[in-house]
Amino acid sequence: MQEFEDYVKSNWRVPTATSCGITYTHTTKIVKNVKNHNVNLTIAWRDKDNNPLQTEKLVFTNDDMTKTCDKKMFLINRKELVNKFRAAKQSIVNKIIAEKQEKLMALENDITELLKYSGRANDIIPNSMKNTIELVRKQPEQAPPTQSFDM
């Protein structure tokens, strides 16, 4: 994946940039009954004061670069970039999945805390009944006195 990112960065020359960050997102769209998977690559350059200098976005639809992004490529070969993307695809997908799982866990924690706060936690026992134990001792029934008859 690092080779792919370095290759993408080599397309742009940003002379005053001191740092560069790459982020990935994934979306799906259905166009003419065909499901398109889009992987969006956003590359952002920043100066020494962390101010944004330049931001570029590349879109790969079903493992191929879109035509609008093809026009942005002036220093590198489009076919080679697509091949490098396909080689790094699994690592990119794993990175996107890890980010989404992290967001999902944070969201689940927030929901759980809200439910606890509102008193509707995912318990069967309501909060009003928690931490209270009421013991009721039942007296054992005494057997009725036995009567004996002489005959």
pLDDT value of position 145: 66
Q: How confident is the model at residue 4 (pLDDT cuts 50, 70, 90)?
A: confident
pLDDT digits over 44-77, tens only? 988 888 888 888 899 999 988 888 888 888 788 8
Long-range CB pairs of 146-151 (<8 Å, 24+ gap) are: none
Q: How confident is the model at residue 95 (pLDDT cuts 50, 70, 90)?
A: very high
Query: How wide is the angle at C-alpha 74 spanned by C-alphas 12 and 1, nearest 5°?
Result: 60
Q: Is the pLDDT of residue 40 over 90?
A: yes
- pLDDT, mean of residues 90-107: 94
CA neighbor of 92 nearest in space, from 27, 30, 4: 4
pLDDT value of position 114: 85
Q: What are the residue ranges of helices labelled H in 28-77?
A: 67-70
pLDDT value of position 100: 94
How far is residue 146's CA from residue 105's CA, in Å, rounded to a whole number?
A: 69
Structural domain boundaries of the chain? 2-118
Residue with the bigger pLDDT between 126 and 39: it is 39
pLDDT value of position 47: 86
pLDDT value of position 151: 61
pLDDT value of position 53: 85
pLDDT value of position 24: 94
pLDDT value of position 103: 94
Q: How confident is the model at residue 35 (pLDDT cuts 50, 70, 90)?
A: very high
